């Protein structure tokens, strides 16, 4: 027997058991989505814009640079907002310097994101 993309045997989805399975899967999906939405609203989970995620995951850009470019800021603008030097920002973005916890906190605050979203 062939299987559908949701794992239901073809032809059984029109039976009461098949419909129940679909509804149960939908209910689980809805509960998972509600839990994610609740975490985002509570601030426990940060959303990462698709452009930032793509720059980091596909293009290999350092997260600090990806967020900075997403905001449309220069290195100097980020440095001023984070109260760090332009050299520090540049060295973190290029990997020449690791950056301190305090530096990452300042950068995250300036960018409006979490420290964890900036760690490479």
The residue extents of the domains of the chain are 1-45, 50-118
What is the fold, at CATH topology level, of the domain defined by 50-118?
A: 434 Repressor (Amino-terminal Domain) (1.10.260)
pLDDT along the chain (120 residues), means of 10: 48 60 76 84 79 94 97 97 97 94 96 89
Tell whether pTM > 0.75.
Answer: no
With the CA atoms of 16, 28, 2 and 17 taken in that order, what torsion angle do they form, in degrees rounded to the nearest 10? Answer: -10
């Amino acid at each position: 027997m062939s299987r559908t993309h949701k794992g239901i045997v073809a032809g059984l989805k029109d039976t009461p058991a098949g419909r129940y399975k679909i509804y149960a899967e939908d209910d689980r999906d809805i509960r998972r989505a509600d839990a994610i939405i609740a975490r985002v609203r509570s601030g426990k989970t940060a959303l990462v814009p698709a452009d930032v995620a793509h720059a980091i995951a596909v293009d290999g850009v350092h997260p600090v640079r990806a967020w900075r470019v997403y905001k449309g800021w220069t290195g100097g603008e980020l440095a001023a907002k984070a109260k760090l030097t332009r050299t520090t920002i540049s060295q973190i973005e290029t990997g020449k310097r690791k950056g301190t916890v305090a530096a990452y906190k300042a950068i995250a605050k300036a960018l409006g994101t979490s420290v964890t979203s900036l760690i490479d």
